[in-house]
Amino acid sequence: MAESHLEHSQSDTRYGLPGAMPRKVNVMMLGAGSFFTNSILRDVVLIPDNLGGELRLVDIDAERLERTERLMRKIVEETGQSDKWKIVSSTNRRELLPGIDYIVNSIEVSGVACVRFDNDIPLKYGISQNIGDTIGPGGLMKGLRTVPVYLDILRDVRELCPNAVVLNYTNPMNMMCLAAGRAVPEVQTVGLCHSVQGTGRMLAGYGGISYESMQWKCAGINHLAWFTELNDANGNSLYPKLMEMAANRESEFSKAEPVRSDMMLHFGAFITESSGHLSEYLPYYRKRKDLLDKYTDTGYRGEESFYANNWPNWRKASDEKREKQISGEEPLDLKRSFEYGAWIIESVEKNAPLLVHGNVMNNGLITNLPQDGCVEVACLINQNGVQPTHFGALPRQMAAVCDSNMRVFDLAAEAAIHKSKQHAAWALMLDPLTSAVCSPAEILELTNELFEAEAEFLPGFK
């Protein structure tokens, strides 16, 4: 199956999906202070031939909420749509949930309060993290803080707007979607990330072809999905060229993606997440200083503590940029992005078929991965909503790498659903990176230390 997503409409609002929107829509942004509001809600406003509706903003941080409301008013004003879109905001989601059609979830439980704990306590035990928000000690703790809140949100959705479609952008993606599928299966949810479409464009560039002409298949789990096929328009594989570049450690490709190029050489296909973040999903690259020196570099290429050192500043810079955009000191970017959210809304409303990659419960989609787990596969979108497509079996070695992570997510989701410290410790004992560095006794000690430091944000755990 040749896959090509959002082919004619990534950065140009002249091209939309065919047809006009048949009705007004009500879209809620949970965590309205987040980065994703700038792109996804703006993209909703930029849907061609939309009839407007309501944009409902929710955030527990009243200051960031008020700033976001001013920004969205500026966007609808500059696009000439002030008469079509009503903007409302509240710190109480239940006030605004009735009548909602689509919910974009981008919450950040605990803000920046636990960033240093997530990074620095594991580092004492020799566990080096680059991002640390989806797997490993940092990802586990973020999940334990965030999943219970997300499940409460979904229970409110089930009660107040049961037909709404929930588009989740919050990490840790796999834990969030897995827990949702197990605990509140009645609510239609899908987890969305930009790693598949972003990596696809990058590989087309290295392959010397246009993204629109590339034919490919991709499946696995979030941040660990594999491009099992990667061909040009004539069906010729791009892999021989990519493998040649990867084998040369001095090539631009290898230097830009030191871990992903190495994994491709040894496992046979390219993976969707950036090298630094990917290194946390694996037992190979971060357990010794010589390996860190060889396979990691600055920034997203694997720099130790990169996220913890920079996330608070990025958050502050985002707020400052919004103020400058509102005042007119900086121009608004009014081109549609390739984030999936608004494209999904447009596709459903216009019944215009679209293919995206989403995180959903497996249920036979990838036959050689745990059936009660969460996978990332191609999903057909139309008036019937999000419809995951069958992939079949991954190559065995690729499935095994995914499976090692899914065992962690399985226990982490159970820990979050049942608020169990024991399941959390077991999850970390199975974590590929943590178990490559620490003994089970050390991991239990680490888990207890993290729980003690973050107790304020982990109510009810026992």
Active site residues: 194
> Rounded CA gap, 338 and 189, in Å?
20
For residue 98, the tally of other CB atoms under 10 A from its CB is: 10
Determine phi and psi for 366, rounding to 5 degrees: -115, 110
Q: What's the Cα-to-Cα distance from 136 to each of 130, 165, 418, 448, rounded to whole Å?
A: 11, 30, 20, 15
> Rounded CA gap, 444 and 196, in Å?
35
- DSSP string spanning 308-346? HHHHHHHHHHHHHHHHHHHHTSS----S--S-HHHHHHH
Length of the chain: 462
**Is residue 9 helix, strand or coil?**
coil
Tokens representing residue 332 in the block: 């608004």
- For the four alpha carbons of 413, 419, 424 and 426, in that order, the dihedral sign comes to negative
**Is residue 390 helix, strand or coil?**
coil
Please state whether beta strands 53-58 and 25-30 pair in parallel, antiparallel, or not at all (unpaired): parallel
- DSSP string spanning 52-103? -EEEEEE-S-HHHHHHHHHHHHHHHHHTT-TTTEEEEEES-HHHH-TT-SEE
- 57 Rama class: left (phi>0) / alpha (psi -120 to 50) / beta: beta
225 bridge partner residues? 220
